[in-house]
Structures are given as structure tokens and as C-alpha cells.
Structure 1
Amino acid sequence: MTQDLRLTIAAELERARARTAALTDAVDETDLIRQHSPLMSPLVWDLAHVGNQEELWLVRDVGGRDPVRQDIDELYDAFKHARKDRPALPLLDPGQARAYVAQVRDKALDVLDHARFDPERPLLDNGFAFGMIVQHEQQHDETMLATHQLRAGEPVLTAPAPPPSRTPVSGEVFVAGGPFTMGTSTDAWALDNERPAHVVDVPGFFIDAAPITNGQYQEFIAAGGYDDPRWWSDRGWAYRVKAGLAAPLHWLHDGTQWHSRQFGRVSPINPGEPVVHVCYFEAEAYAAWAGKRLPTEAEWEKAARFDPATGRSRRFPWGDESPEPRHANLGQRHLSPAPVGAYPDGASPLGVHQMIGDVWEWLSSDFDPYPGFAAFPYREYSEVFFGGDYKMLRGGSFGTDAAAGRSTFRNWDHPIRRQIFSGFRLARDA
């Protein structure tokens, strides 16, 4: 069993590093050190940062080894420097960064070879620290993918188109009121904000069977949704005016039809794909225009996980088995959301589709701890963000890896953010 876990961890570490390498090798050194948006770090910062976190947790803490580069800890501490300020730091250059992460990985694998997955040491129980680092790197890979979407220049990333729709999906699904188990106390690599499992009594509600599509969102634009303050909250309208919002980020209008720019390529909008690159305020305004609302976090998770036949919460909408390509659009296999109806095998028992992958879904809930929350292994992962100006996002996107693509995974961001791969679906009271 221990050896199987070791092999699984080694494979997951390698899979994450291969993706990091692909995202950073795709551009030249000038692009690696350039800041493509003040919202994002230079790609070379992300590259060295994932190595620094691996050194801190696996080499030094778990392994008790001597530091590789203690002198750079401050440079790659995400809380010390805002993203907009990072290009001015004396960062490792691309060659140095690649050499550093390779040296750290060699030491981390040696630590893995000798690790005892001691249940008495929470950081090592079921290989938690290694799983945390896998997820951390994959999360930064998704961030780097978002940076690629913001960069100017010729396309450098390629992937096959997502699968076509296989079944019609429309309308709403009724979710009966009653208790269900939210969060988890058993998923070995679940992070602190997903814990502990707790029972939540959710009143009955309706939720859309699919995310809102580009075609549906175009109707909102055509109806003057961006010009009518009735649909916007006070904060949302103030931001819409200040930022000049008129359509999702990366949408372009040629006078006849809408196009979108995806990783350097411009093509007509696919009306059947979930809308992506909208902020919370845009999702909230669309919901008001449509006479509905955004789901709460508890509603979203119940619709994704609850099996009325057994009364239990599944790990994923389709069951407890890990995601396969037939279940969900995850892992950067494609460079856009898949059309609604492309993954019938991934639907929940209640018939709600594409809750995992494709687009992160904005929810009405703020980012707060669950009852019984305990920070682990450090306060800065979750606790310092509780109560801030954040809205919840759930479900993952086409850029989210399966290592973090579970139904309990919690993401959060400021309600103005649009560079992330964010969309939404609607709900309403029963």
C-alpha cells in the first residue's frame, strides 16, 4: 500500500511538472519575464514559486533537509509582493528558475523515497503534503494558462477542440429540500477549507441543468443588459461604468457578429458553449435580468453531490471514481469550454450537467469557514481570506486539473475578476 501511494505521488508530481514545462517552454525568454497584465505575475515568477513551495514543504519540512535557496524565500512569498510589483524584483532568470525547480524536484523525490506516511503526523498522513504540493502546482498552471490567454502575439498553445454536444440539455432541475452532507472529512488530499464534513439543511430550489451559454448571454447584451442599471447591484453598476464593461472579456464585435479571442486565435462565438470570462457582477446582473439568482454554495454542492436514492453525498456528480475524459472537460485537454451536453456521463443523479470542468461557476456566497474549521497546515492558505471581499467559485474549468477538480474544492476571488475562466448557472427558490 505504501509503495502504491509512493508511485501515485511520483506520477502526480511528474504530471504537474510536465504541464508547467509545457506552459513555460511554449514562449521565449522575453515572454517569460514580461508581465502580460498587472493582474498576473510574469510566468517566470510562477515557475520559481512552485519550486520554492515544494522546497519549503517537501524538502525542508517533510524531509528535514538543508535549504536549496533560502535566500529567495522572500522573493517568492505571494504575501510579500503584489503581482503588479513582481517584475521589478531581482527574480531568477528563466535558466536559473529551471535549474532551481529541477534541483528541488530531485531532492523532493528523494524525500518521497524515504517518507513514512505516518497517520500520527497529519502532514504525512496519506501523503497529504505531497498532494498539497501537486495541487498547488496545478493551480499555478491554471493561473499561467490564464496568463497565456492575456498575452499578445502569435498563438503558442494548441489542443484539440472539445467534444460536440451529445445530448440536449436545457431548463431547470428541482432539488428537494432537506439535509445533505457538505464538505469532507475523508478525502485524503482535501484542503483545510473543504473540511470538516457537516450537515446542511437546504430548502427546495430549482437550478439550471447547464451553465449559461454564449448564445443566452448574447440575448442579455442585445436586450441592453449592460446599459440598464435596473439589473445591476449598486456596486456592480459602479464597476460596470468605471471599467466600461460591454461584453465578456476577450469578446470582439465586427459590426455584424461577436467573436472571441482564445489564446491568440479569433473565431466566431460558439453559441452552445458556456460563457466564460465574466465577473461576478456580470453574472449577478444577468441573473436579475432573467428573473432568477445565482445559487448559494450549499445549493451548488447539493446539486452536484447529493444522491436522493441513497441519501449520501458523492465525491463527484457521477460517483466516487476519479474523473475520466468522458466525465468532464478538465486538465487543459482543450482550450475552451465544451458545448452544453458534451458530457452526459458526468451528470449528477438529479440530472445537472457539467458541474465539474468547463467554467468556474460564480455563486452568491461569500468565502467563510465551515463549522469546525481548523487551519492546516498554514493560516495563509484559507483563513486570512475569510470575511474579505470575495465571492465563491465552484466546479473547476477546462484549465483545472483533476487533482483539484472535485465537488468539494472551494475557489474564491474578488467579484470584479474576469481574467479567470469563470461562468455561471442560475437558480431560483422553489
Structure 2
Amino acid sequence: MTVTEPGPLPGGPLSDEWGTESLRTRVAELLERARARTRVLTEAVDEADLVAQHSPLMSPLVWDLAHVGSQEELWLVRDVGGREPLRPEIDGLYDAFQHSRASRVELPLLDPSEARAYVAEVREKALDALGASPLRGRRLVEQGFAFGMIVQHEQQHDETMLSTHQLRAGPPVLHAPPPPAAAASPAVAEVLVPAGPFTMGTDTEPWALDNERPAHVVDLPAFRIDAAPVTNGAYAAFVDAGGYDDPRWWSERGWAHRVEGGLVAPQFWERDGDTWWRRRFGVLEPVPAAEPVCHVCFFEAEAYATWAGKRLPTEAEWEKAARCDPSTGRSRRFPWGDDEPTPALANLGQRHLQPAPVGAYPAGASPLGVHQMVGDVWEWTTSGWHPYPGFSVFPYPEYSQVFFGGDYRVLRGGSFGTDAAAIRSTFRNWDHPIRRQIFSGFRCARNVEPGSGPEGA
């Protein structure tokens, strides 16, 4: 099944100048765009594949489908719309906190036809709620927040379902054009980020989630960060140099996981003679050297960085490199500015089904000259998952708060499977450091030594 080419987000950034009707139109378009992608992902396979569990790390695709509808019903139909529940008896089945992913295949789930009928009925009533809502007033509906939250939720599950597609066995069922070729590679291998304060997080992004708030000033010493994500070719050099066999490069926990998990290369890589091959959505192909490496866990990224004489960036360092405009001191919405992502700026929205080669999006670089910080691959940071100073829960604790302080590392920037509606430079993702079925890569950073000159050379 061919992936539908998503267009740019309609309109520009939400603001108080948006009229209610234009906001309704935008919300409806974004809801439909998310649903169109859900249909691609769930109609590409037969019913047996929909109800199967392709990995204990993932839910059956049919669970994700009905869960999307269940959340939409809870927030848009029942809360915003004030309507009676459609299927209250299934609430528990699709509560992610009641059932682990590994156990969901054993639940009495809606079958594929029932799930499709359910999400269609929910959507009809959610659009009724959209038409009746003033999109102003209480915080949940102000500037369409609840609708934006549901758009992002469905797109996040679409990316999760895309990960499930990568894990399923069998011939290819998803198809998309290749990404653009490299147009202008970064002029330098790494970029100096000057010392000083910057504004991290946001108070103004109307659909930002609670963990992105509030905006606060962070003062950082100077550091250097890679101008592009680490590529497959660079990572293969680490593998071929025996990086997986030498505990010097690994943390104690990382080495223990490497041994226990039998890790020898990124997930989905295999060697045939002198060539590394990868399996990508059912296609076996040589590993493209110029693409950002994908499907590595935090511990693998950390080991490579140590081997290279560097380290992984902190979350604050990543955001400053992505957002800070040194000419104005202002933090941008995106590396390229405040405009919404377009196909010329970033690899998003399942458009290409793989990362683009380094240098494919020169127009998307940050003011400091850091490339491809949005799209392509999620990037591991060293930071744990914690709230910002002044954090407050909104609209429910199970999105962010209950995970704070757990064994997680923050990832930033989105991937080729992340939709433009579900990413911005303040967006924070998190996962266990052993996870690599996600579309995860990284870039390195290093300290600037005192007295090394204005460029830190």
C-alpha cells in the first residue's frame, strides 16, 4: 500500500488572531489527516495480521486502532461534547495502564470490523462536538487544545503502528518514494554553541503538552555538537572496529545489556561477507552509508560516543542547538524558524519510510548550522525524564507525571515516522534506555575546554 503524501499543515502557527471558523477548519483537516494515516497502516494488512502480536513490545494493530477511538471518545465526545458514552464497557480494554502491551493480545478486543465501525462513529460525534464548541473559554478547549491533543495522540499511535509494521514478518505492504538526495552537507563536522542563557520549553505554543511547560531560562557553558546525526557509515566503523566486543566503550549497565541481549549491531542489521544489510519494512537492502543510523538503543549510542571521544548531549544542549538564534537571543519554534514544517524542511509524516541522507534538508538547519534536528530519527540525550521547574499537570497525570523519575532517557526531534502535527523543538519523548524498535538515532557532543580559544579548538 502506498503511503499517502501528506501536505503541509494548513495555515500557520495558532494564535489569538485565528478566527473560530478557520480554527475549526484547521482542526477538522488535521483530524482527517491523522485518520487517513491510520487507515493506511491498518488496511495494508489482512485481518490475521491486524489481530496478531508481532512483538511482545508492541500491541496488536487492532488494539491501537480501537484505543485511538477510545481516547477520542473520552475527551472529545464525552468531555468536550458532553454526550453519553458510546461503548463504556470497553473503556478498560483500551486503558493502556490496565494492560501491558504483551498481554493485550489475550483481551476480548473488538474485532477489525467492530473497531473500524467504532472509530467511525466516534469521529462523527467528535466532529459534531467540534462544530458546537466555541474553542474558547475553559482551558481544555481554549484554541482547540483538546482537539490538538487528540490529533497528536492519534499521530503518536500511528508512529507506534509504523514500528509494529517494521517488526512484522512477511513481504512489504507499505511503499513510499525514496527521500531526497543530499543537497548541501554541513560545512563543518561539529558546531560551537556559545555559552549563555536561552529559553527552554514554552508558554506560548497552544497545543504543547504539559511536560513542555513552563518556559524557563537555562544557562549553559559552551559546547560543541555534531552538525548532523551519526550516519550508518560512521556507526559501521565503530562496529567493524570491534566496538561491540570492547567493554571500555560501554557503561557498566550498557555492557551488561549488550551481553544479555546479544547485541552485535543496530537492530535489523545483518552482515553478508563485507557488506552490512538491513531489513526495512520487509525489504532487505544494503545499509545506506549516508543515512542517520536508526534502531539503536541509548546504551549503543552512548558506547559509540565514548569510542569517538565524545558524549551524548543533554536535553537542554539539544534544545539550545535546535532553537537558539544567537543574533536575537530568541528561541524559535523550529530550527528554521516559526513556520510549520514542509517537505523541503524536514523528513516527517511517513513520507519516505526511512531517514534521508545527511545534507538532504539544508533549508531546515538551525541558525547555528545544525542540520536535521527535526525528523529522520529520534535522538537520544543523556537526560532522565523529569518535570521542568514549575510543572503542573494538564489535563491528566497519566500522560507525563506518572513516568517522571523512572528509568527513562529523553529523546528529541522526531523521526521520519513522526507527523508534523506531533513535533516541535520543545517536544519531549522518553523511553527505556534498552529500547531500539523505535526509530532512534543520535548525534554527539563534547565539552569546550577552558582556554582553547574563541572557537574551542
Shorter chain as denominator, the TM-score bin is over 0.9
The alignment partner of 2:381 has SS state of strand
| Residue in 2 that maps onto 1:270 | 288
Deviates more, 1:303-312 or 1:250-259: 250-259
Q: What is the distance in 2 between the residues matched to 1:29 and 1:67?
A: 27
Check whether the contact 2:292–2:357 (CA below 8 A) recurs between aligned residues: yes
| Residue in 2 that maps onto 1:132 | 149
Q: What is the distance in 2 between the residues matched to 1:319 and 1:234?
A: 40
Please point out which of 161, 167, 172 is paired with 1:144: 161
Deviates more, 1:168-177 or 1:127-136: 168-177
Structure 2: segments with no counterpart, 5+ residues:
1-18, 449-457
Check whether the contact 1:304–1:407 (CA below 8 A) recurs between aligned residues: yes
Please point out which of 432, 437, 440 is paired with 1:419: 437
| Residue in 1 that maps onto 2:58 | 40
The alignment partner of 2:94 has SS state of coil
Q: What is the distance in 1 between the residues matched to 2:125 and 2:153?
A: 18
| Residue in 2 that maps onto 1:81 | 99
Q: What is the distance in 2 between the residues matched to 1:30 and 1:147?
A: 14
Structure 2 residue 194 is matched with structure 1 residue 176: yes
The alignment partner of 1:240 has SS state of helix
| Residue in 2 that maps onto 1:253 | 271
The alignment partner of 2:219 has SS state of strand
Q: What is the distance in 1 between the residues matched to 2:423 and 2:389?
A: 23
Letter in 2 for 1:167: A
Aligned-pair distance for 1:116?
1.1
Q: What is the distance in 2 between the residues matched to 1:21 and 1:117?
A: 27
The alignment partner of 2:339 has SS state of coil
| Residue in 1 that maps onto 2:12 | none
Please point out which of 366, 369, 375 is paired with 1:357: 375
Q: What is the distance in 2 between the residues matched to 1:258 and 1:172?
A: 27
Aligned-pair distance for 1:154?
0.8
| Residue in 1 that maps onto 2:77 | 59
Letter in 1 for 2:181: P
Letter in 2 for 1:63: G
Q: What is the distance in 2 between the residues matched to 1:50 and 1:238?
A: 37
| Residue in 2 that maps onto 1:288 | 306
Aligned-pair distance for 1:150?
0.2
The alignment partner of 2:153 has SS state of helix
| Residue in 2 that maps onto 1:238 | 256
| Residue in 1 that maps onto 2:173 | 156
The alignment partner of 2:398 has SS state of helix
Check whether the contact 2:185–2:362 (CA below 8 A) recurs between aligned residues: no
Aligned-pair distance for 1:256?
2.3
Q: What is the distance in 2 between the residues matched to 1:329 and 1:144?
A: 18
Structure 1 residues 351-430: aligned runs within 5 Å: 351-430=369-448
Check whether the contact 2:211–2:428 (CA below 8 A) recurs between aligned residues: yes
Q: What is the distance in 2 between the residues matched to 1:288 and 1:105?
A: 49
Q: CA RMSD in A?
A: 0.5
Q: What is the distance in 2 between the residues matched to 1:398 and 1:406?
A: 14
Aligned-pair distance for 1:93?
0.2
Structure 2 residue 45 is matched with structure 1 residue 27: yes
Check whether the contact 1:330–1:405 (CA below 8 A) recurs between aligned residues: no
Letter in 2 for 1:155: P
Aligned-pair distance for 1:252?
1.1
Q: What is the distance in 2 between the residues matched to 1:124 and 1:251?
A: 46
Question: Number of residue pairs matched?
Answer: 429
Check whether the contact 2:375–2:414 (CA below 8 A) recurs between aligned residues: yes
Aligned-pair distance for 1:168?
2.2
The alignment partner of 1:75 has SS state of helix
Q: Which runs of 4+ in 1 moved over 2 A?
A: none
The alignment partner of 1:364 has SS state of coil
Q: What is the distance in 2 between the residues matched to 1:95 and 1:86?
A: 18
Q: What is the distance in 2 between the residues matched to 1:63 and 1:108?
A: 7
Q: What is the distance in 1 between the residues matched to 2:251 and 2:141?
A: 46
Q: What is the distance in 2 between the residues matched to 1:325 and 1:335?
A: 14
Structure 1: segments with no counterpart, 5+ residues:
none
Letter in 1 for 2:176: A
The alignment partner of 1:186 has SS state of coil
The alignment partner of 2:228 has SS state of coil
Per-residue deviation, residues 110-138 of structure 1 (Å, max 9, x unmatched): 0000001223x000000000000000000
The alignment partner of 1:379 has SS state of coil
Aligned-pair distance for 1:265?
0.1
Please point out which of 106, 128, 141 is paired with 1:110: 128
Aligned-pair distance for 1:290?
0.5
| Residue in 2 that maps onto 1:212 | 230
Letter in 2 for 1:43: L
| Residue in 2 that maps onto 1:330 | 348
TM-score normalized with structure 1 length: 0.99
Letter in 2 for 1:283: A
Please point out which of 332, 335, 343 is paired with 1:314: 332
Q: What is the distance in 2 between the residues matched to 1:156 and 1:117?
A: 39
